[in-house]
Amino acid sequence: MELDSLYQEVILDHYKSPKHKGLSEQKDIQVHHNNPSCGDEVTLNLLMSGQIVKEISWDGIGCSISMASASVMSELLIGKSYQEAIKILDAFVELMQSKGQSVGDENLLEDGVAFAGVSKFPARIKCALLGWMAFKDASAQVMA
Amino acid sequence: MSVDLSKYKKDFPILHRKVRGDNPLIYLDNGATSQKPESVIAAESNFYRTINSAVHRGAHLLAEEASQAYESARENLANFIGAKTDEVIFTKSATESLNMIAYSLGNPDSKFNVSAGDEIVVSEMEHHANLIPWQQLAKRSGAKLRWFSITKDGRIDTSNIDTLINKKTKVVAITHQSNVFGTIVPLTEITKAAHAVGAVVVLDACQSAPHFAVDVKKLDVDFLAFSGHKALGPTGVGILWGRTELLEKLEPALFGGSMVDSVSMEGATWAKAPRKFEAGVPNMAQAVGLSAAIDYLNMVGMEKIAGHEADLTKQLLDGISKISGVDVIGPLDMKDRGGVVSFTVDGVHPHDVGQVLDQYGIAVRTGHHCAWPLMRKLNLVGTTRASFHLYNDSSDITALLAAIEQVKIYFKVGK
């Protein structure tokens, strides 16, 4: 079923057991992003240690795609350098814009490639990007 | 008694589409917009093919015919809601209608001049289009915005109506039927209270006028708005209706060509209603298309449509009550209720519910339904909403119920 390309098992797993969900005390900055068309919300705390992404914690309400994507994002970017994190983020955005034509670079995106199918569903791309855009915003502010 | 409207479905070309594989389209998102019968599509395109020209201008045959078609459309719309022809104003949408009336009621030059010390009353279940214009009017004028609360089963709580609507109240702006719950408001009680203190009642009829007979005189409201596209008509055309004596006292909100009586370099005076409120070349083809939609609704019969939608609503409410972990948001009974059913599936976000239904060719609305304050009040992230029109049938409901079961299986929730 076409639906299975959207809801990969990995996505449903992250949705049921999200990683780094629950806002941690330590942070350099907190950002809040929402999706006014569907009401999904993500609050993200970011702690940097020099150039390194030390900690990402988040909380939010939303659909399986938005919540699982925030979970995968946090797991993937913690411990990376700012430069690497942005490289991964750019690759994820590119995958989302691929209209189903890309499978994604698994070495770079790891569990993130599970979202490749989302790119075939235009209405869901913004769900998948919600947490990532929150990270982009937060990290840009801290690194500025 | 069940109403059979099955012969009309063939008139809607889009309903012949197959979607997401080989599924016939099951369109249950009529609260957002309705589909169009062939006669409406033809009326709109025939306007362009045969008589397109700017109404109320030109000294030529086309202008004459276009003006006639446009004014006939107005007359048809007026008859549809029991109004006088000159009380019907064509706008681009119900949203524009509501914004215009909110703006005009706050215009210092208008006889109403809502200002500091006055109060505006809405309800917690208004669509954003009948909330934000009033918030903005309150902000501009210094008037106070107050609202009816909502009961747990999605009805307006009128227990404090005597204090809520008081001598300070100038406007009561209320939905006729909730776009989230499908509940029909106790309008008589509200209009009585409003008129007793000299306030005007603005009715958002977007979810009612397309689905059951609406007569402005019987409803005893002062202004009414609805959109063409929810009533089988084209997009880009809405209706604003107002009582003649009130329209006379109102200043327009849009200015330009066609709406004037006389213009000099220093100033201008206005034409009489409805022209006063229709600045610029109007959406003529859309008004003519909407008139064809009204013909179609009249041909089927509004009472039959309402009866048919009631049958479908009952079928869906009964069906959902048999599925564990699926809850109707709003009343479970059929009293004062239209063809809209909102529901939630435990453990599955509405967006994901909608996605699975879509896989079966079922189109529903998911999310906050442009009623965000209401969702916050109910502590919900959103709902999934099925809303009907005359071309839906019992098999659509059966398919929806089966697909809801599939949602639960897919997301492994409940039994």
Q: Is residue B273 part of a domain?
A: yes
- In a domain, residue B415? The reply is no
* Secondary structure element (H or E) that encloses residue B54, with its range: none
What confidence score (pLDDT) does residue A1 get?
65
Contact A39 B20 (CB under 8 A): no
pLDDT band at A36 (very low <50, low <70, confident <90, very high): confident
Domain span holding position B327:
6-30+301-410
Residues of A within 8 A of B412 (CB-CB) are: 12
* Of B159, B201, B206, B214, nearest in space to B182 by CA: B206
Vertex A87: Cα angle to A86 and A89 (nearest 5): 60
Single out the residue in B298, B320, B344 at which a domain terminates: B298
DSSP string, B114-162: --TT-EEEEETT--GGGTHHHHHHHHHH-PEEEEEEE-TTS-EE-TTHH
Q: Is residue B35 situated within a structural domain?
A: no
Average pLDDT, integer, range B147-172 = 96
| Residues B176 and B244 both lie in one domain | yes
> Which residues of A sit within 8 Å Cβ distance of B?
1-3, 6-7, 12, 37-40, 61-65, 121, 124, 127
**Residue B168 and residue B254 in one domain:** yes
Angstroms from B362 CA to nearest CA on chain A = 14
Query: Across the interface, which of B348, B356, B375 has its CB nearest the CB of A39?
Result: B375
Residue B73 in domain: yes
pLDDT digits (tens, 9 = 90+) for B67-94: 999 999 999 999 999 999 999 999 999 9
Q: Which residue in chain B is spatially nearest to A2 when comparing CA positions?
A: B359
Q: Which chain B residues are closer than 8 Å to A62 by Cβ? A: 349, 351, 381
> B77 and B175: one domain?
yes
If you measure CA to CA, which chain B residue comes closest to A11? B411
pLDDT above 90 coverage of chain B, percent = 92
Nearest residue on chain B to A37, alpha-carbon basis: B367
Taking contacts as CB-CB distances below 8 angstroms, the residues of chain A near B349 are 62-64
B369 within domain boundaries: yes
| Total number of domains in chain B | 2
Task: Among B273, B298, B323, give the residue marking a domain's end.
Answer: B298
Whole-number percent of chain A with pLDDT over 70: 99
Check whether residue B60 and residue B154 sit in a common domain: yes
Verify that B311 and B282 share a domain, yes or no: no
Query: B309 and B290, same structural domain?
Result: no
* A38/B411 touch (CB, cutoff 8 Å), yes or no: no
The reply to whether B287 and B391 lie within a common domain is: no
For residue B306, tell me if it sits in a domain.
yes
Q: Distances in Å between the alpha carbon of A65 and those of B26, B169, B192, B193? A: 25, 46, 49, 48
Domain closes at, from B265, B298, B331 = B298
**pLDDT for residue B177:** 98
Closest in A3, A12, A63 to B349, CB measured: A63
The answer on B389 and B291 residing in a single domain is no
Domain assignment present for residue B81? The answer is: yes
B381: left (phi over 0), alpha (psi -120 to 50) or beta: alpha
Residue B138: the pLDDT is 98
Question: pLDDT digit string (tens) for A73-126?
Answer: 999 999 999 999 999 999 999 999 999 899 999 999 999 999 999 999 999 999
Same domain for B151 and B44: yes
Domains and CATH numbers, chain A: 2-143 (3.90.1010.10)
Q: Which chain B residues touch A117 with a CB distance below 8 Å?
A: none
Tokens of A14: 């992250």
Asked if the Cβ–Cβ distance from B355 to A62 is below 8 Å, we say no
Q: Are residues B141 and B198 in the same domain?
A: yes
Contact A61 B381 (CB under 8 A): yes
Q: CA A96, CA A124: separation in Å to the nearest integer?
A: 9
pLDDT at B381: 87
Q: What is the CATH number of the domain that holds B129?
A: 3.40.640.10
Do B280 and B167 belong together in one domain? yes
pTM score: 0.94
Give residue-wise pLDDT tens across range B352-398.
999 999 999 999 999 888 888 998 888 888 999 999 999 999 999 99
Examine the domain organization and report whether B326 and B256 are in the same domain: no
CATH of the domain at B327: 3.90.1150.10
Q: How far is CA B185 from CA B27, B157, B235, B238, B314, in A?
A: 26, 10, 26, 22, 19
Tell me: the pLDDT tens digits for B227-270? 999 999 999 999 999 999 999 999 999 999 999 999 999 999 99
